[in-house]
Every structure is written in C-alpha cells, then in structure tokens.
Amino acid sequence: MDGLGGYDWAAWVGLAVLLGVVEVTTLDLTFAMLAAGALAGAATGLVIDNLVVQALVALLVAIAMLAVVRPVALRHLRTPLAIRTGTAALVGERGLAIAAVDGQGGQIKLKGEVWSARTYDPATVIEAGRNVEVVQIDGATALVYESES
C-alpha cells in the first residue's frame, strides 16, 4: 500500500466535492471537468492502490474533459437567440395583447401572428392594447407577462 493506506479514493471524492463547490460559484464548467477527473481518480483508487496511477488517470480524464466535453457543453449552454428555432425562438419576444389576457386565456399578436396566450402569473390580468413579453411556450399557448415598453 502507498498513499493514504487504502483510502485514497476518499481523498479523491473530497477533492471532487471541493471542486464541485468551486464550480457552483464560478459557473464556467472548468472546475466541473476537474471534478470529473478527481472522480476518475477515486474510481481508480477503489481498484488500484497506487497513488501515481490514480493521479495519472485523474489528470488524463480532466484533460480530456477540458479539451472535449467543456467546449461542446459551453456551445450548447450559450446558444445565441438567433440560432434558436421553433417555439424556443419566441421566448423573450415582445408582442401586443389584442384581447384581455388572464390566467385562463386571451390572445396576443406575436411576430405578425395571433397566438392564444395566458398570463404567467394566473392572478394577473393584462388588458388589450398592452405590450407583453413571452416567458414560455406551452404547446400552442404563449405564457406572458406585461412588459413596460
């Protein structure tokens, strides 16, 4: 035995948790990839009681995650609005209430089309002629709230 007397895996898990906490504060996916490497080191520690081998596995997995997984994940997380299609492209768009909109229903004009709508907050009523912003699309119904502009 070398390292921590057979409990190397526990140290790796502790490191992974610490890196996970740091990731929650930074939200850039770097520390999440490093945490994945630490978890790979922990898994190796359960099988192989050699700290050098565990560190090499952790390092290789972390590098692979940073080089391959992180760029793909960031691309998916930061999809520009211009690339969004279908109903996802309507979220955040502004429209006009053409009939009163409440928690039960109503109608809005959105990008030149008439949509059925209801307020995101069921207790709110938006009068006809008021500007709205789309928060979510639920089937063929836009969930909206009143916009200031």
Tens of pLDDT, residue by residue over 2-56, are: 556 678 899 999 999 999 999 999 988 999 999 999 999 999 999 999 999 999 9
- For the chain, the average pLDDT equals 90
| pLDDT at 99 (0 to 100) | 95
Question: For 79-83, what is the mean pLDDT?
Answer: 65
Domain boundaries, the chain: 8-77, 83-146
| Dihedral angle over CA of 126, 128, 130, 132, nearest 10 | 60
Q: Phi first, then psi: what are they for 85, rounded to 5°?
A: -125, 170
Q: What is the pLDDT of residue 1?
A: 46
State the Cα–Cα distance between residues 3 and 8, nearest whole angstrom. Answer: 6
Q: Is the dihedral of CA 78, 82, 86, 90 positive or negative?
A: positive
- Predicted confidence at residue 15, as pLDDT, reads 97
Predicted local distance difference test score (pLDDT) of residue 2: 54
Q: Looking at the domain 83-146, which fold is it? A: OB fold (Dihydrolipoamide Acetyltransferase, E2P) (2.40.50)
Quick one: pLDDT at residue 87? Answer: 79
Give the DSSP H or E segment for 143.
strand 141-146
pLDDT, mean of residues 53-65: 97
What is the pairing mode between strands 131-138 and 94-99? antiparallel
Predicted pLDDT at 77? 81
For residue 14, the SS3 value is: helix
- Look at the pTM and tell me if it is higher than 0.85: no
Decide if pLDDT at 84 tops 80.
no
> For 111-137, what is the mean pLDDT?
93
